Structure 1
Amino acid sequence: MERYFTKEHRAGVNIKDLPKDPRLQTRITNYSPNDQRAAFNIEDLPTDPGLRPRITNYSPNDQDQVRRAYLLAGLCQPRDHAFPQKIFGNKLRRFNKDWFGLYSSWLEYSVSKDSAYCLCCYLFKPDIGDQAGGDSFVGEGFSNWKKNDRLQSHVGGSNSAHNQAVAKCQDLLKQKQHIQTVFEKQAKQDEDDYLIRLNAAIDCIRFLLRQGIAFRGHDESENSSNRGNYLELLKFLADHNDEVKAVAFGNAPQNVKLTSPDVQQDIVTAAARETLKVIVEEIGDALFSILVDEAHDISVKEQMAVVVRYIDKKGNVIERFVGIEHVSSTSAISLKEAVEKLFSILGLSISKLRGQGYDGASNMQGEFNGLKALILKDNPSAYYVWCFAHQLQLALVAVAKNHEDIAMMFFVTNNVVNVVGASSKRRDILRGKHAAKVVEALNVGELASGQGLNQETNLKRPGDTRWGSHYGTLVSLITMFEAVIDVLEIVRMEGPKGDQRTMARMLLGSMQSFEFAFTLHLMRTILAITSELSHALQRQDQDIVNAISLVELSKKQLQHMRDEG
């Protein structure tokens, strides 16, 4: 590891400027202690004990790493060196290489200083003054070859400073007992536990997302009997998986339980990004089209939903929802900016766009300033197709509004649904009377019995923007017509005085008229054709050629009903 200096270091040394040539290098002790601690490379540690800086000169965070490096490298014992002689008294004396064998576990020799050193004391010698030879075998080195008995006295007794240093060296090399190993082992265990906990949380969130189920609960406290779908599902998983149970909830650290709303939101966001990434990768460089619609949500914010439509590698038509963008207004310019922003996030190019599908609103399909026109200016190949299902709905709405009898029939039908379905009691009476009439019809042979036939039903409430739902309403009203009349009679006779009785009386008169019955059956027949067409037009694998054919076929059916019906 290599550390670099900052402006706060007193010497202002830059490690990049240190001389590479050994002849130009200065002693490590010439640098300030801050610089000595700051810069070292394990591979460049000096092997000659006479050139080594004090172990305390290294940063406390690095000292064990330096010690282990020296112990693994081994003792500096140059046995083939020509040891120089020195005069002691009237005799020439020098270092004896046989001493390496006698003190093989600690003795080192410095060629540069012609002195003996103790590796163990260098690494772990405590600051205890002159005990065990003081600084002789660590800092300045021992070179009085006449008094070689000092080598043995340096070792000392079983509890000497030298032997304590030897024991610390042995412990440092026992990797399993080293504190760093303990930390790493604990960190690895914490990591494994976290992965188990994280995978369990992701599995629960994926399940809830796939099923479209809410995450949060009304009361998520530990004493709550129902803490919400996410926490209850995670608890269920822990109760049935011992591995998850061992690391979840109470067995998890307080800050990584992975149960907070923020964590849930982060994982959901990550899942959304990964899903979009897969969709974009599946599109690749292929051509695609977009389907766009805008509406306000429950918070009355204008939102623009975007769907991409493309052909996969197997030749299948694929539609993928890619996002909802908040728009400040529903003007064509705002919508185009939102589309461009979404394309930028997803990495899609408008040059690859080959189709636009919107409704018939002026801000969408306007010839000059609509979203269609603005995109066509950038890419003339992005052909616009007005949503066929929307055109069909507009035609039905126009018929309902412009023909008085049909408009009256739908007005009466909506009010019947509201009055009969105003309370659970009335709906129960309706179901009971209808069931009794079904039994009676079965007994006299007017209805056939069999699997899936004569199921319990109720009046269906039509949707305001989907005229296909009106077909289901008319079918249910015709099926339960007699039971509906009976319930209205009860409301007229026993209902709350005032508007309810008056409304029931008016509805009874209207429903039992020829005009109502005729228009009811007429629109049921017409909507049967258009409802089937509407569902066909909304199929994901539908193409424009087949859609035009379906429209032509439906027009022929309607014309045949007009001519021959």
Structure 2
Amino acid sequence: MEKMGRAKDKVYVRKFRNEWYSEYKWLCGSIYLNKLFCMPCLIVSVKSSVWNKGGFNNFGNVTRGCRNHEGSLEHIRCALMFAELRKNLSTIEDDLTDNSRLYIKQFNDNVLLNRRFMQLPIRAVIYLGRQELAFWGHNESECSDNRGNFMELLDMFISISPADIQEHYKKISSVFSANSKTIANELIDCISDYIDQYVDKEIEECNYFSIQVDDSTDIVQKPQCNIIIRYVNRAGKLVERFLGFFNVSSDRTADALFNLVTKRIEKYDYRSKLVGQCFDWASVMAGQVNDLQSKMKNEAPQAVFVHCAAHRLNLVLQQSCNNILKCRIFFANVTGFPSFFHHFAKRTHIANTIIKRRIPTSVLTCWTSNSNIVKVINNEWDSIKEVFIEIINDITSDQTSVRQSTAILNLFNDFEFALLIGIFSEIFSITDILFDMLQKHSLNINYGMSQTQIKNTQELLNEKRNEKNFKEIFELGSIKVPIPVNYRDGQKTLTADEIFEKYKILYYEILDTISGQIDVQFKDLDKIHFITLMDTTRFEEYSKNFPTEALNNLNNCFPNIFSDLPRLKKELYFIYNDEKYRNIELDQILEVVDILYENRDILKEAYKLFCLIVTIPSTSISVERSFSCLKRTKTYLHNSMTEDNVTNLAKISIEKELLNELIITEPFYDDIIDKFAALPDRRMHLIFKK
């Protein structure tokens, strides 16, 4: 602050000196008004003066003016009152701070009770999800004796919880309904999302992974696929994680399936980390699988294609029979046979009473399921005929049952149908053995991929291709249904020898077609010959004669992963000569990985190889097991569940082992509650204040 003046024709400037603030503690000023004021008088005084209203601006007499004002009674009175006021202001600040602390403490105490309570519905969701039990009942009102498993289980949890939790829920129940479907569905989503995040982190840390994709028709007949991802985690354990069910009813072309799969695994850097792909749509997707795996190969060149060996056998049987008209008609009739009984209690009761066993179900994606139907028809031929005769003669049978029974009974009076039942019963007795071996869910390298086992099956079928064997089948068929005297083939009546010769040709055609399809479907097994490097049953042999061909095959498939082949060969040589590896059975092959994990820094190339081999789905595809879970889950689910809820709830069941691990090793409940709290429209405080 400053003031200009004039004296004897001279202009001068008087400026404010900062030391005046130190000398007069009460002094204050305004740079806008360019004047000085007294702070105590400005705040407290009710009397008007230059020091609290107009402002003092005589900078030439500041010292004298300040001394005069400082000695006035009004200033002394105001200074004392101002000092007292400042003391009171400190007290108010302290009070406000204390009240704020008390509020935060009370708020956080309430949040703690809310979070303790939220564990109860989370536990209820986990229990029902893991056990695959129904969530909702038909009548969920207060007066219902059974309001559904979720409500009843939550009520029980609340009733046995500590008294403070019970009392707390009574207070919040008016604004937070823990047993509502919305809350249950949101918790299901939170748990599923938590599992997904953990799996994402695991895959991010692994070196490589493979994908296994299969499709199935759910209980509402909607085509869908599910995706399993397989890898060795950072703890050296082989794991398979369920990524979800996906609706493919609108488009099942290779382009659509490629887009679906790649969109789901894009975040996993699949172009460099995907080493194996297995797409098993069985007969339904046979025309698209080759295109799909080629598209994947273009994006991830190191991703070897492994078709599930059991599904290859499905394709063998399906395509063989589709190529022969009589066989295609035969199996159309056979697969329709179980549907006559299923979902019809009266028909099923008659069948159970006479046959004393249930009729097997035909599964579209599992061609070998027809084997069970053929076996039952072949073994219970007379009893099954009796069932349809009983239905026809029963006066209480409806017209549809009588009409369909008559049509099926005509089949049982047809020689050709009886003969084909005998032929395929014989064929299935051979292929079922191979199918059971291929279906074994283990890393059994010999059984899963051994060309020897497949060749043996092919040889057994070829051994059946002789007139003597056919004659036995032909005679058994003629016992079931005698050959008509005037057997006609078109316009021509055939003799007994001509009839025999006609069906012998058909019999040979069936066997030749199946044998040829085996060659087609299993011809490329040698492309993954490198997996035999992990065949413990041959380690002693390898110690004397190193499997160079298999190592070269590995180099051809994964040149970017195994760049130091000389070191890998030395490490394998050491393993092949070590007795502790030779004593491991094939069904315990993962023990090799466990041992190598402990020495992974020393045998780094070998550990990398064995992890890669077990990552590739070299035997049957485990993803199929999840569909039984889907059926059970969807059977129990309330109609209000969306498709996302079905996937998320199924994930809780399928990944129950992982879920148990997360509950023990992670701050699981706190994390789920935090996720739940982050959702919109929360009426209950769940996040602590700091």
TM-score under structure 1 length normalisation = 0.58
Q: CA–CA distance in 2 between the matches of 1:227 and 1:387?
A: 44
Closer, same or farther: CA 244–182 of 1 in aligned 2, 3 Å? closer
Match in the other structure for 1:199: 119
Q: CA–CA distance in 2 between the matches of 1:299 and 1:529?
A: 34
Match of 2:442 among 541, 554, 558: 541
Q: CA–CA distance in 2 between the matches of 1:424 and 1:31?
A: 100
Q: 2:299 aligned with 1:398, yes or no?
A: no
Gap runs ≥5 in structure 1: 1-21, 33-49, 55-86, 89-112, 115-129, 143-160, 436-456
Alignment of 1:151-170 (within 5 A): none
3-state DSSP class of the match of 2:385? helix
Q: CA–CA distance in 2 between the matches of 1:243 and 1:337?
A: 54
Cα offset, 1:353, TM superposition:
0.7
Cα offset, 1:136, TM superposition:
5.1
Closer, same or farther: CA 232–558 of 1 in aligned 2, 3 Å? farther
| Root-mean-square deviation over aligned CA pairs | 4.8
Match of 1:558 among 444, 454, 461: 461
Cα offset, 1:524, TM superposition:
3.2
For 2:434, give the aligned amino acid.
L
Cα offset, 1:527, TM superposition:
2.7
Q: CA–CA distance in 1 between the matches of 2:419 and 2:237?
A: 44
Are the counterparts in 1 of residues 217 and 223 from structure 2 also a CA contact under 8 Å? yes
Match in the other structure for 2:193: 273
Closer, same or farther: CA 243–323 of 1 in aligned 2, 3 Å? farther
Closer, same or farther: CA 31–185 of 1 in aligned 2, 3 Å? farther
Match in the other structure for 1:101: none
Match in the other structure for 2:172: 252
Q: CA–CA distance in 1 between the matches of 2:253 and 2:117?
A: 47
Q: CA–CA distance in 1 between the matches of 2:163 and 2:269?
A: 42
Structure with max Cα Rg = 1
- What number of residue pairs does the alignment pair up? 407
Match of 2:262 among 340, 362, 373: 340
For 1:202, give the aligned amino acid.
I
After superposing the two structures, state which structure 1 stretch, 188-197 or 247-256, moved more.
Answer: 247-256
Match of 2:130 among 210, 228, 232: 210
Cα offset, 1:351, TM superposition:
0.6
Cα offset, 1:356, TM superposition:
1.6
Match of 1:501 among 392, 399, 402: 402
Q: Deviation per CA, 1:252-309, whole angstroms, max 9, x where unpaired? A: 3433333333332332222222222333343423211112345787789875532212
Cα offset, 1:475, TM superposition:
3.8
Gap runs ≥5 in structure 2: 1-20, 33-38, 44-66, 470-690
Q: Deviation per CA, 1:411-449, whole angstroms, max 9, x where unpaired? A: 5544543445563223223323345xxxxxxxxxxxxxx
Closer, same or farther: CA 243–254 of 1 in aligned 2, 3 Å? same
Match in the other structure for 2:420: 519
Match in the other structure for 2:391: 491
For 1:337, give the aligned amino acid.
N
Cα offset, 1:173, TM superposition:
7.6
TM-score under structure 2 length normalisation = 0.49
- The structure carrying a bigger helix percent of its residues is 2
Cα offset, 1:562, TM superposition:
4.1
Cα offset, 1:31, TM superposition:
12
Q: CA–CA distance in 2 between the matches of 1:183 and 1:200?
A: 27
Closer, same or farther: CA 400–362 of 1 in aligned 2, 3 Å? closer
Cα offset, 1:246, TM superposition:
0.6
Cα offset, 1:540, TM superposition:
4.4
Match in the other structure for 1:461: 361
Are the counterparts in 2 of residues 357 and 386 from structure 1 also a CA contact under 8 Å? yes
Cα offset, 1:354, TM superposition:
0.9
Closer, same or farther: CA 410–365 of 1 in aligned 2, 3 Å? closer
Q: CA–CA distance in 1 between the matches of 2:389 and 2:460?
A: 38
Alignment of 1:81-160 (within 5 A): 137-139=80-82, 141=83
Q: Deviation per CA, 1:530-554, whole angstroms, max 9, x where unpaired? A: 3443354344434676433243343
Q: CA–CA distance in 1 between the matches of 2:260 and 2:337?
A: 43
Match in the other structure for 1:229: 149
Cα offset, 1:489, TM superposition:
1.8
Q: CA–CA distance in 2 between the matches of 1:245 and 1:562?
A: 76
Identity %: 21
Cα offset, 1:466, TM superposition:
1.7
3-state DSSP class of the match of 1:255? coil
Cα offset, 1:238, TM superposition:
2.1
Q: 2:103 aligned with 1:183, yes or no?
A: yes
Match of 1:428 among 340, 344, 349: 349
Q: CA–CA distance in 1 between the matches of 2:286 and 2:317?
A: 19
Q: CA–CA distance in 2 between the matches of 1:481 and 1:28?
A: 115
